A and B are shown apart, each in its own frame.
Chain A
Amino acid sequence: MDATQGWATTDEGAVAEARTGNPDAFRVLVERHSRSVYRLVYRMTQNEHDAEDLVQETFLKACRQLHRFDGRASFGTWLYRIATNCATDLLRARQSRAQKHVTLNSDIEENPLEQMRSHAPSPERLSLSSEISRLLGPAMSQLSAQERAAFVLRHYEGCSIEEIGQALKLRPNAAKHSIFRAVQKLRRALEPRLGAAAGGSV
């Protein structure tokens, strides 16, 4: 591929060129967006292998549906929509399979200190963010797929409410309320543990 090609400079140009059947143009889009899509789906699934599979699925779907991309949203937002749909489908399937399993909440509430000790890398005092990084994955699993997607898009990807609405096919108000619920659930799940950890380590 000649990187100096004019079409390679913008997503719109690369999309138009890919539509003519040029795989190199689609490769430009993959290279430009694969890391952000990876981050998004990783935040949603908290699993490296799932994230890799989802990125692949996202780009293949995007490629097959490229003729349907109408340019109303940016290519990145459109891609996020596909990625969140793929991840949401996966999470919903997982959640329905895991209904019989013990939830993280009950695990932690039954034995919070054990949870913290078993994951502690050293006896040294842990910082707030490292505590959170340890607890965030399980806490995220208490969110519905939609709440998780809305929160990740807002908090980590900096998407506006409108973009989140477009990506998740929600009205802005519904997108906003998904974020509210996500934040409430995360605070309920994390703050007591963080307080205990901070208190214990000081």
Chain B
Amino acid sequence: MKHLTDNQLTLLYYNEASTDEHSHAASCEACRLRFADFAQFMDAMRDVPAASPRPQWEKRLWSEIEPRVAEALMPRRPLWARLYVMGPALAAVCAAVFFAGMYTQNRFDRSHPESFSPKSRERVLLITMGDHLDRSQIVLAELANAPESGKTDISSEQQLAARLLGENRLLRQTAQHVGDASDAALLDQLERVLLDIAHSPAEVSSSELKDLQDRIEAQGLLFKVRVVSAADRQKGMKL
């Protein structure tokens, strides 16, 4: 066997060398001497005393992080459950009223022209759209801000994206139908990203997560969704 390389000396020092390397080191005078020097150097590095934090540091550390720890540890419902508890009831009612209105519009127009006036339909549409964008925004924001940590569980975002897809499709078609090109374009862009999220694996690797984040970021989608959502809600409330 040839003399040990520096890397083999390193392995030997950390007790990770092979049996051959161990027996060579034991039998070869030159390698034994080299290893003795090497080990002395490594030991001396290890002897450098570890730094100690300042006195009372641990108490200070806890007092500084405690409020944020308590906040972060507050029990969280799954994302979709939180959404469906907060604003969902209103969304469901709005959507039901809106679609029922569309369905019955022709039947009632003649006999009750005041029941579903264009103004009230527009209002419901805007509120429904605003609500839909709000919920989409939460999915996008959760993913955009998800920390990289090996595998990331996005199953709750995925479930919500799948639920939002049908509604998104309907709203996009409505926007196209009424000739609202900008809303239709935004909903089209959103639909493709929601589709990607819904069809991603429940656990994504950091590179897959990065791809999703890049898509959300590159298209400025989150920003657009925020702006349109706020504008639609405001318009809807004014009507």
Contacts and interface: CB of A to CB of B under 8 A. Distances in A.
Interface of A: 18-23, 26-27, 30-31, 34-35, 38-39, 42-43, 48, 51-52, 55-56, 59-61, 63-68, 81-82, 128-129, 131-133, 136, 154-156, 161, 169, 179-180, 183-184, 186-187, 190-191, 194
A20 B45 CA distance: 43
Contact of A31 (B42, B53, B58): B58
Contact of B48 (A26, A133, A169, A179): A133
B72 A64 contact: yes
25 contacts: A21-B73, A23-B66, A27-B66, A27-B69, A30-B58, A30-B61, A30-B62, A35-B53, A38-B57, A39-B50, A42-B50, A42-B51, A63-B65, A65-B149, A68-B149, A132-B44, A133-B48, A133-B49, A156-B46, A180-B10, A183-B6, A183-B42, A184-B6, A186-B45, A194-B41
Contacts of B6: 180, 183-184, 187
B65 A132 contact: no
Interface string B146-159: 01011011000000
Contact of B74 (A21, A60, A65): A21
B69 A60 contact: yes
Contacts of B68: 60, 63
Given A63-B73, A132-B48, A183-B6, A191 B41 contact: yes
Contact of A155 (B46, B54, B62, B150): B46
A23 B49 CA distance: 33
B41 A129 contact: no
Nearest to B16: A161
B164 to A, nearest CB: 23
B70 A23 contact: yes
B8 to A, nearest CB: 10
A22 B73 CA distance: 7
Contacts of A186: 45
Interface in B207-222: none
B20 interface: no
Query: What DSSP secondary structure best describes chain B's contact surface?
Result: helix
Interface string B1-21: 000001100100010100000
A67 B54 CA distance: 31
B47 interface: yes
Contact of B53 (A18, A21, A38, A60): A38
Interface in B145-189: 147, 149-150, 152-153
A27 B147 contact: no
Contacts of A161: 16
Contacts of B40: 128
A187 B73 contact: no
Contacts of A35: 53, 58
A61 B147 contact: yes
B41 A190 contact: yes
Contacts of A27: 62, 66, 69
A169 B16 contact: no
Contacts of A55: 61
A64 B50 CA distance: 29
Nearest to A169: B150
A187 B153 CA distance: 43
Contact of A67 (B49, B50, B76): B76
B64 interface: yes
B119 to A, nearest CB: 45
B75 interface: yes
Interface string B25-64: 0000000000000001110111111110110011001101
Nearest to B152: A68
Given A68-B152, A154-B14, A169-B150, A132 B45 contact: yes
A52 B44 CA distance: 26
Given A128-B44, A129-B48, 11 more contacts: A35-B53, A38-B51, A51-B53, A52-B53, A55-B61, A60-B69, A132-B47, A156-B46, A161-B16, A180-B7, A191-B41
